[in-house]
């Protein structure tokens, strides 16, 4: 590229960023006037069992300190209490779940299986959990937020659900998602939008937003989400919980809809746990991971925090039209560095990865199908394609069965670089170079700590003004690395913030170890309201 062209490109980028920043500020002022300061208060948490960790609940059930039926009733009552305000649950199976809880209690009382054997073979016996409405649960709706799929009922469990059932866990409800799981606010025409338990005027993220919400509001012991651009980690960030996007190819995607339409998308997509306690991630992960991947994951290896090398980048990714990192979030890195220095004599090393500037282009290249259906076709459940002009007109009069952002995404998808185009090939090449660069940096004993998102939860609909902010998580997907979001308290507005811990492929255990360390140091999940 000649000097004059490079200079012009830099000028255009700077101009776009200044314009975007101005629009952001004006929009934030308007949203603040529209919504006011804070939304409605969530009902306080009154039942102590709701605050227990997953492993604690499981232990108390199998040792008969509490019954599975009691636990289920507590969470059912909690869902009934919070859902009218938060709209996180879109379908439930309360009656069936209670019958399964009774069967679990009877098995425990019978004594036919020893307590040790239960802990080993059915570690989650009688424990209720939830999952997002794109992961199949037999006999329940399986819509992925699509209006045209409202009558589709799952004929069988997704593999991850089946694996959890096999160890005694009980599916309790399905949670809300964005339309076709492709936007970072969980709202759709079929089920409406979900509200943040810390401030109902704010978003919960997407696409596993309903799941992030119900975990933060203690309506479930744990949840299962999926992540192709941050769909586990962004809701975990906005709702102040832990969420893990796994290494590529280690957890079955069977029963997840929409299915990836290319091999690259399949490697970008990950199904993983969402929960309030860091120590619960590993036992859930061990259940849902493919048995063929167990050896290379070395999940039972003892991981000493002092043996982990810490790298971090606390500055912006330098992408065009992506928000700057909020000062409250940037300050987290100072706190993290201070902790590791004082507690473990570890000096985290600051890095500045220049290739992050192409993150948006890399993710878009990864999402471009070689020969599969386009986004507009997927919106019809692969029954033709939507008429964009007609849907925009219907959207104007609020009669469209699709969200505005889904329609816009269809338009943008048509103009995305096609496989084989010079720009697409360049981004694929850049992805491989960055993947190799970070892999060499982290090695087998290092993690990279990054912002999960540049700001705390925005107001409803505000993501339309800053659609590319998802890229802080999306870049990790296209690089195919595992990453865990770790909550680190609340910002100056009382909203959750945190960071994501990234490791080399198959080094998920390092993410878990750092997550547990950060939870010990800074407290982890902060309950929205407690009254016990």
Q: Between β-strands 242-245 and 483-490, what pairing exists: parallel, antiparallel or unpaired?
A: antiparallel
Which residue among 68, 74, 122, 132 is the active-site one? 132
Whether omega for the bond prior to residue 258 falls within 30 degrees of 0, making it cis, is yes
Which residue among 208, 231, 247, 456 is the active-site one? 231
Quote the CA–CA distance of 221 and 128 in Å, as a whole number. Answer: 6
Which residue among 67, 74, 178, 207 is the active-site one? 207
How many angstroms separate the Cα of 14 from the Cα of each of 188, 319, 413, 497? 34, 10, 25, 28
205, two tokens: 């993220």
CB distance 104 to 229 below 8 Å: no
Q: Which of 179, 189, 186, 68 is nearest to 129 (CA)?
A: 68
Q: Which of 247, 266, 233, 274 is nearest to 132 (CA)?
A: 274
Phi and psi at residue 263, to the nearest 5°: -65, -35
207 classed as catalytic: yes
Helices (H) and strands (E) in the chain, counts: 19, 13
Residue the block writes with tokens 């991981």: 303
132 classed as catalytic: yes
End-to-end Cα, the chain, rounded Å: 65
Q: Which of 140, 173, 134, 174 is nearest to 154 (CA)?
A: 140
CA torsion 331-335-341-342 (nearest 10°) is 150
Whether omega for the bond prior to residue 193 falls within 30 degrees of 0, making it cis, is no
CA geometry: angle 310, 313, 316, nearest 5 deg: 165
User: How far does CA 213 lie from the centroid of its chain?
Assistant: 11
296 classed as catalytic: no
Give me the half-sphere count of Cα atoms (radius 13 Å) on the Cβ side of residue 5: 2
Which residues are the active-site residues? Answer: 132, 207, 231
């Amino acid at each position: 590229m000649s000097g004059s062209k490079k200079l012009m490109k830099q000028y255009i980028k700077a101009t776009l960023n200044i314009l975007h920043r101005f629009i952001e500020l004006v929009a934030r002022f308007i949203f603040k006037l529209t919504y006011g300061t804070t939304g409605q208060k969530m009902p306080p948490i009154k039942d102590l069992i709701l605050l227990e960790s997953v492993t604690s609940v499981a232990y108390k059930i199998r040792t008969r300190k509490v019954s599975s039926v009691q636990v289920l009733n507590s969470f059912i009552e909690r869902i009934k209490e919070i859902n009218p305000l938060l709209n996180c649950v879109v379908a439930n199976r309360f009656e069936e779940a209670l019958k399964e809880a009774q069967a679990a209690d009877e098995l425990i009382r019978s004594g036919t299986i020893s307590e040790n054997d239960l802990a080993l073979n059915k570690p989650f016996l009688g424990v209720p959990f939830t999952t997002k409405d794109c992961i199949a649960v037999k006999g329940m709706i399986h819509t992925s937020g699509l209006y045209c799929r409202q009558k589709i009922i799952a004929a069988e469990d997704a593999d991850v659900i089946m694996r959890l059932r096999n160890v005694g866990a009980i599916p309790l409800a399905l949670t809300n998602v964005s339309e076709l799981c492709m936007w970072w606010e969980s709202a759709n025409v079929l089920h409406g939008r979900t509200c943040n338990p810390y401030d109902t005027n704010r978003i919960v993220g997407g696409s596993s937003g309903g799941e992030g919400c119900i975990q933060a509001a203690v309506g479930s012991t744990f949840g299962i989400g999926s992540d192709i651009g941050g769909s586990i980690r962004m809701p975990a960030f906005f709702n102040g919980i832990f969420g893990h996007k796994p290494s590529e190819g280690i957890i079955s995607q069977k029963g997840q809809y929409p299915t990836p339409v290319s091999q690259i998308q399949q490697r970008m997509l990950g199904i993983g746990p969402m929960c309030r306690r860091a120590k619960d991630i590993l036992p859930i992960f061990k259940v849902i991971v493919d048995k063929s991947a167990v050896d290379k994951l070395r999940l039972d290896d003892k991981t000493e925090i002092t043996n982990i090398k810490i790298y971090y980048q606390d500055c912006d990714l330098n992408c065009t039209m992506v928000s700057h990192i909020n000062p409250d979030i940037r300050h987290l890195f100072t706190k993290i560095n201070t902790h590791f220095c004082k507690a473990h004599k570890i000096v985290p090393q600051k890095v500045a990865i220049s290739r992050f500037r192409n993150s948006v282009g890399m993710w878009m290249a990864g999402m471009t199908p070689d020969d599969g259906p386009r986004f507009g076709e997927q919106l019809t459940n692969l029954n033709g394609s939507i008429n964009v002009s007609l849907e925009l007109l219907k959207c104007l009069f609020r009669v469209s069965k699709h969200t505005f952002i889904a329609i816009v995404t269809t338009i943008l998808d048509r103009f995305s670089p096609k496989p084989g185009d010079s720009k697409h090939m360049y981004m694929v090449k850049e992805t491989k170079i960055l993947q190799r660069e970070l892999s060499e940096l982290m090695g087998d004993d290092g993690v990279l700590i990054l912002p999960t998102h540049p700001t705390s939860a925005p107001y409803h609909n505000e993501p339309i003004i800053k659609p590319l902010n998802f890229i802080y998580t999306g870049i990790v997907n296209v690089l195919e690395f595992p990453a865990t979001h770790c909550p680190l308290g609340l910002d100056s507005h009382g909203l959750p913030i945190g960071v994501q811990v990234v490791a080399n492929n198959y080094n998920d255990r390092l993410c878990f170890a750092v997550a547990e360390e950060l939870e010990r140091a800074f407290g982890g999940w902060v309950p929205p309201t407690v009254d016990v």
